[in-house]
Amino acid sequence: MGDSEIKLISGPTHAGKTTFMSQVASNLVGVKIYIDFEDSQVRALGPGDLQAIEETAAEIRKKETEDGAGRVFYFFDEIQNLQGWENWVDRLHRQGAEIYLTSSRSKLINEFSSRFSGRSKILRLFPFSFREYLQIKGNRIAEPNFLTPSSSDELLCMFFQYFENGGFPDVIKNNDISLSRKYFEEELQKGAAAGYDIQKLKKIAVFLISNMASEYSSDTLKKVSGLESEELVDTYLDYLEDIFLLYRVPKHNNLQESGKEKDIPRKIYSGDTGIFKAVYPGYPDSLGLRFENLVFLELLRREKQVFYFRNKRECDFVTKEKDSQNVSAAIQVSVCFGNPVVREREILGLTEALDEYGLEEGLILTMDEEEIIIADSKDGKKIIMVKSVWKWMLEYRK
């Protein structure tokens, strides 16, 4: 019986899952078997071929160790492409092998957790964070609270580059936003191969990406795409979410009010901030919405459950800890916080959410403003921390 957990590395294509798995493999001692199930020839493997793989691993182990008892490590890329993979992986693990899997399908996360309950571990990989962006660019990361004015200016410039290009590793390394467009087209082609109408899929994806951080309606998506029914629209949305291209975020204060999950309003967010200009370069830019999308992805990296709040006013994000049922934070995102009208709106929306969930402190993330505000609310005084988003992003270390 394997005494180690089966590891699943989950995230979008081109986010660095294979590279990460290679780094893990380089630190392990034993027999290592790597198979890429994205390869069309490998996808055709049958039961006899899988048995042959096991036999090959056993032979290598026998040659490399005197007693034939060395560890065996399997590394399987894009495991969802192997039909019936669960039973095979289960058998390998019970025989004592250590197993690492990758998948670029979000639906596999729940299936994996359920199938291998108690003996599995999931690592979610996203496009690079700002901290990781600085590392890949070779920058020394100073503590946000100990920055000189010149280093602050330099980091702010780098933040804007990161914000524009997004976090895909090769986009950053090559400073080539056109790669994001290529990735987008690749995923649409996979969707076509899976039976989706590529033009309708593209119309929905482009419309939603160009309206990121906004609510959507099925009726609008029907008109945009030409799909005949809400059910079909939902099927296409499921696919776009399954490949990590889009995320749907529910309105929190409707969760209890609505008896039907499909009736809960939702906002849409993109899987990477750089994809906006790559996919729709001619569309009028909405800096504020992309800025909000950036914060959303950072909250996911921090393993938060993410929602939004709207009653009389709106709060961009309310979050819960990973396994909690209670809202623990409320966050506004503002690119124009210096504008008095915007300032009032953001503070009022945030304090309404703080009152709703019994929180004493809220957060407003800006481009570069910082202060502490003591705000009045119906439940008394609230503390509001105003922080620049790039410093906030550098505060977090996993």
Q: Where would I find the H helices in the chain?
A: 17-26, 40-43, 47-64, 85-94, 107-115, 130-136, 149-165, 169-174, 178-193, 198-210, 218-225, 230-242, 275-279, 287-301, 340-356, 389-395
Task: Report pLDDT digits (tens) over 82-127.
Answer: 888 999 999 999 989 999 999 999 999 999 999 999 999 999 999 9
Question: What is the C-alpha separation between 356 and 176, in angstroms, rounded?
Answer: 44
- Name the residue with higher pLDDT: 43 or 270: 270
What tokens appear for 262 in the block? 């499909």
185-232 per-position pLDDT tens digit:
999 999 999 999 999 999 999 999 989 999 999 999 999 999 999 999
Name the CATH code of domain 6-124 (choices 3.40.50.300, 3.30.70.3040, 1.10.1670.10, 3.10.20.30). Answer: 3.40.50.300
pLDDT the model gives residue 55 = 84
What is the pLDDT at residue 1? 39
Domain coordinates in residue numbering, the chain: 6-124, 130-174, 179-251+274-281, 286-398
Rounded distance between C-alpha atoms, residue 174 and residue 324, angstroms: 40
Token pair, residue 61, equals 């182990």
pLDDT at 142 over 70: no
The pLDDT value recorded for residue 262 is: 65
Bridge-based pairing state of the strands 305-310 and 314-320 = antiparallel
Q: Which of 57-66, 155-164, 263-272 has the lowest mean pLDDT?
A: 57-66
What's the CA dihedral at 53, 55, 58, 60 to 10 degrees?
-70
Report how far residue 23's alpha carbon sits from residue 186's, in angstroms, rounded to the nearest whole number: 26
Residues facing residue 136 across a β-bridge:
none
pLDDT at 152 over 60: yes
Please enumerate in sequence order all residues whose Cβ is within 8 A of that of 336, keeping only pairs 6 or more positions apart, or say none: 288, 342
> Is 2 a residue whose pLDDT tops 50?
no
Summarised one tens digit per residue, pLDDT across range 316-346 is: 999 999 989 999 999 999 998 999 999 999 9
Closest to 252 in 3D by CA, of 349, 377, 357, 348: 357
Residue 3 has pLDDT above 70, yes or no: no
Backbone phi, psi, residue 7, to 5° = -100, 130
Exposed / middle / buried, residue 118 (Cβ in 10 Å: 0-12, 13-18, 19+): exposed
Look up residue 26 and give its amino acid. Answer: S
Q: What is the pLDDT of residues 271-299, one digit of tens each?
A: 999 888 888 776 666 788 999 999 999 99
Residue 272 makes CB contacts below 8 A (sequence gap 6+) with 12, 127, 166, 167, 168, 180, 297
Q: Just give the CATH number of 286-398.
A: 3.40.1350
Whether the CB-CB separation of 398 and 371 falls below 8 Å is answered with no
